[in-house]
Amino acid sequence: MATEINQTPEQREEELQSPVVPQQTSNTPPVAQNDTYTANSGEALTVDVASGVLTNDTDAEGSNLSATVVENPTNGSYTFRSDGSFTYTSLDGFSGTDSFAYTVSDGELTSEPATVEINVEAGDNTAPVAENDSYTVASGEALTVDVASGVLANDTDAEGNTLNATVTSNPTNGGYNFASDGSFTYTPLEGFSGTDSFTYTVSDGLSTSEPATVEINVEAPPEGSNTAPVTQDDSYTIAAGEVLNVDVASGILANDTDAEGNTLTPTLGDSPDSGGLTFNGDGSFTYTPLEGFNGTDSFTYTVSDGELTSESATVQINVGSLTNTAPVAQNDTYTTPEGEALTVDAASGVLANDTDAEGNRLSATVVSNPTNGGYNFTSDGSFTYTPLEGFNGTDSFTYTVSDGELTSEPATVQINVGEVTEPEPTPTPEPTPETDAGTNGVVNVVFDAAEDNSVNSLIFDTTPTPDGTNIVARLTDDTLDLGSDAAFDNLVGFYEIADANGSIDTNGDGIGDVLPGQEGYALAAIENRVDNFVMEAGGSGEEEENTSVEEFGTVILEGGTLYSPFIIANGGDLGFDGFVESEGGEGNTFNNPAESIDDPVAYFGFTSANPDGVSHLQARGNNTFGFEDLPANLGVSDNDFNDAVFGFDFSQ
């Protein structure tokens, strides 16, 4: 059926001339709802899109939503995607509630934050059980115990979790190295036989066992064999003008040993210079100082077990004045590479800087043991120390000194194991490879992996040639192998620094005027980079091989100049100049902490220069180094330092 509409010509004209008003549309912000998930301690929680945080979020206009994290979890690591899916792994041993916050956007407006709560359950976990252990070794020989026979071999965990062992008290008659897998080595003190022991606990990552005892039976040599007895130095003190009477119990034989337990007989060697001595075969003696004498006198002796004779020992006699003041022990510091034993002789020992007002001879005694290594300590201040396997950092023990009458306050012996981070802003440079004076240095670049060891700064030093000419460094091999597990396409380069503190000379007067952490440092570093030295490390965990040497050209390293490496994470598409230009190139404004995981950011070998305030460079031994390209401030860094792994060999 048709409908007839009657209009006059005037009405039709009026309708055509009326303006058309477009329909107004409005947009309201999307709404993000709180979410709750449950995870097991130490296990990864994987949430897909269908179960992700956007599932219960809404938008009145039905627009597509994207999610952004605005507050990180505090007790775990995570990877978050804009589609609302994510993974989360709690810290080892953590159970309880963790959370992070996010917002959603419809492309125009953003929601209020919502909270994602993650309940991390410890589950039904029982503490592991550590059982006592017993081992036997011959006197004077080292005991080496592998993992299969180690202290964990008879320890159990009801849930079958992997166990790690930790020493809780040290042996007293030997040095040792202990690994968390239960393997260890032990070497008894010279001349010691008998029973020594240490204690340990085991952990499954959630709970820790009660301590167990490891007993080590140090057997004397077999009957019919004989080892020479061992003498120890002795020290006694008397007042001026008095007679020193020493009985058998306190005599010189009291601290001397014989592995076979034979009866020992002393024989006088050198006599004292400043007093009379009556010396007895049982180790007792009488000493009378000369009238008016005060100071240090001494005599020597050896002991015999009837067959063999010991090395000579010294008996020191401190003849005091009418008054005596306590000796003063000074703190000491030593350094040893990771995994290597430190041997300190008496001349460099802890007594070398200790003093006594009366000039008495001093003897040292340990009062607290190191916690991360085994040691042997003697009263003359010499000692050996072996760090635990895999340990690097600072260990220490304390000791006192005695003049035979009074004892000092304790002093601390600090032992720096491996790479040690010095306080900012004056980081200590690492040992630097050099080229010999008068030669041209050839730089061979080899990419490989090695043992890890964190540092806060890294510099390379080139020795100037006599005539001041530059060192011309050329890559001599046809190919380079680059070990990389990079998340991004990264750039690696070097820049010139003025001193070991990492400062940069920006005005050409030879003095550094911009320090790491100060505004303008990042720009100055990139502007002072080494020309024709550009390495790309990327991306997605693939290994790049057969990188052409011609990419890098000829590298000119000026003699007598310091260089330090840097990385521009995710900067491969921009290049060095493009990175600066894209961010404006003004001071540090272009190198702020990353706001998203794929933001290009420059990281340096000096921690204070990094915008997220953490180390992104790791020394791996043998002049091999690794970079971490993930930003720590977004909570996504895996700290594996394998995103660009490279080595440098400065040779003729």
DSSP string, 7-34: --HHHHHHHHHSPPPPPP------BPPP
pTM to 2 decimals? 0.32
How far is the CA of 136 from the CAs of 152, 199, 485, in angstroms? 17, 16, 46
Per residue in 362-374, pLDDT tens? 999 999 989 888 8
Residue 528: pLDDT over 70:
yes
What DSSP state is assigned to residue 144? E
- Residue 622 corresponds to which tokens in the numbers above? 């043998």
d(CA 179, CA 390): 8
Residue 458: pLDDT over 80:
no
567 pLDDT band, cuts 50/70/90, is confident
CB 609 within 8 A of CB 437: no
d(CA 279, CA 286): 7
CB 619 within 8 A of CB 566: no
d(CA 623, CA 649): 7
The predicted structure's pLDDT at residue 11: 61
Per residue in 150-163, pLDDT tens? 999 999 998 888 99
Domains of the chain, first to last: 35-121 (2.60.40.10), 133-219 (2.60.40.10), 234-319 (2.60.40.10), 332-418 (2.60.40.10)
Kindly state the average pLDDT of the residues 162-187.
93
The CA R_g of the chain, rounded to the nearest whole Å, is 36
Residue 247: pLDDT over 50:
yes
The predicted structure's pLDDT at residue 493: 80
Kindly state the average pLDDT of the residues 72-81.
94
The predicted structure's pLDDT at residue 589: 59
Kindly state the average pLDDT of the residues 269-291.
95
Among candidate residues 40, 45, 76, the one with its CA nearest the CA of residue 159: 40
d(CA 41, CA 76): 10
Query: Which amino acid type is present at position 294?
Result: N
Residue 336: pLDDT over 80:
yes
Kindly state the average pLDDT of the residues 277-295.
92
The mean pLDDT of the chain is 79
* Of 95-99, 218-222, 381-385, 442-446, minimum mean pLDDT range: 442-446
Kindly state the average pLDDT of the residues 233-259.
92
499 pLDDT band, cuts 50/70/90, is confident
